[in-house]
Every structure is written in C-alpha cells, then in structure tokens.
Amino acid sequence: TSGVDDAEDFVHEVMLMAGDEDGVNVDDPFVVVTLEAPHTVLEASDSWCQLSGFVRSGIVGRSMRMLQGPTTDMTILKTIIGAAAAGNSRRGLIALYMGSGDDFLCVVTGRKTTTGDGKAAC
C-alpha cells in the first residue's frame, strides 16, 4: 500500500475510539437518529440546539445530512452508526455544521437505543 493510504487508515483509527458507557452525561448535547440512511433526526436535546444553533422543530424529522458538510468524514460517521446498529458503542471525532453554516469539531458517541415506539435508533 502507499504511504498516503497507510496514513489515512491511521488517522481514521485515531479518530475512532471505543465507546464508554460510563462516560455518559445526560446534560451532554445529543441527537437521536434512525439507524437507516438518511438517518432522520428523531430527537435533539436543548443543549444540542443551543450548541448548534438549530431550532428543534427545524431539525427533528429531517435528514442528518443537514448537519454534514464538506469537511465531515463520512467514513467515520458511517462506522459510528454501524457499530451502534450492531450493539456496540463507538466514538469518533468529526466535523459537523451549525445552523449558521460554520463547522465545528465534535466527539460523537454512537450507541444503540430504542425510541418510545420501540424502533431501534442511535
């Protein structure tokens, strides 16, 4: 393999971390999305809305794509959601986008959960 490919694989490994169930803080900003693409936002916390500049009614029911942009590493995002779908917690550092269009780095933890109506989500 080329040195560039090896470096990219290394960066992805560094950016992805095992999840830590004990590190969950209910006050942390969060969104809950469907496990299937396009990963519809099912819920957004007050703290997420404050952090991101999105209004809850403007994000819930819409695709997670509205949080993504040119610097969002989709490989990392897909890995996090895929791990959650398999029942494993996984974390990664990715760029997401605010309501203003500005990007910010965010440690995302994906873990499988169940919605109020019994559907699997992340």
Report pLDDT digits (tens) over 52-100.
999 999 999 999 999 999 999 999 999 999 999 999 999 899 999 999 9
pLDDT at 114 over 50: yes
The model's pTM is: 0.79
Q: Any idea which residue has 């990963």 for tokens?
A: 39
In this predicted model, what pLDDT tens digit does every residue of 19-51 receive, in sequence order?
555 555 667 889 999 999 999 999 999 999 998
Tell me: pLDDT of 101 over 90: yes
Q: How many CB atoms lie within 10 A of CB 16?
A: 18
Count of CA atoms in the C-beta half-sphere (13 A) of 91: 13
Q: What are phi and psi of 99, to 5 degrees?
A: -55, -30
| pLDDT value, residue 26 | 61
pLDDT of 1 strictly over 70: no
- Measured between alpha carbons, how far is 70 from 72 in angstroms, rounded to an integer? 6
In the structure, what pLDDT confidence band is assigned to residue 5 with cuts at 50, 70 and 90?
very low
Query: Are 46 and 59 in contact, with CB atoms under 8 Å apart?
Result: no
**Cβ 93 vs Cβ 8: under 8 Å:** no
